[in-house]
Amino acid sequence: MPTTKVTINSNGSIRVEGDFEIVDPTGKPFGLAGRNAIGLCRCGQSANKPFCDGSHARTGFCDPVSARDLPPPKPKV
């Protein structure tokens, strides 16, 4: 059983729950103040990126989500 669950919400955020760390491009971790669940912005409008602040609801962000299989990865040359 995975220790981290990632849920892509229709018309909303990406919810991350469990045991995880979020780092910036240099590898420096964000201080999550002990949270074990957070929402990441998917609409691009949050004033607190990369975290969700609910802007998707105010801006009318619409992107329904349905699970699907990805194609196999391309071989590395």
Instruction: Give per-residue pLDDT as tens, 42-73.
Output: 999 999 999 999 999 999 999 999 999 999 99
Q: What is the per-residue DSSP string for the chain?
A: --SEEEEE-TTS-EEEEES---B-TTSPBP--TT-SEEEE-SSS--TTTTB--SHHHHHT--------PPPPPPPP-
Of 1 and 15, which is predicted with more confidence?
15
pTM for the predicted model, two decimal places = 0.87
What is the fold, at CATH topology level, of the domain defined by 1-23+35-62? Answer: Ribosomal Protein L9; domain 1 (3.40.5)
Where are the chain's structural domains? Answer: 1-23+35-62
- Tokens 């992107």 identify what position? 63
pLDDT of residue 15: 98
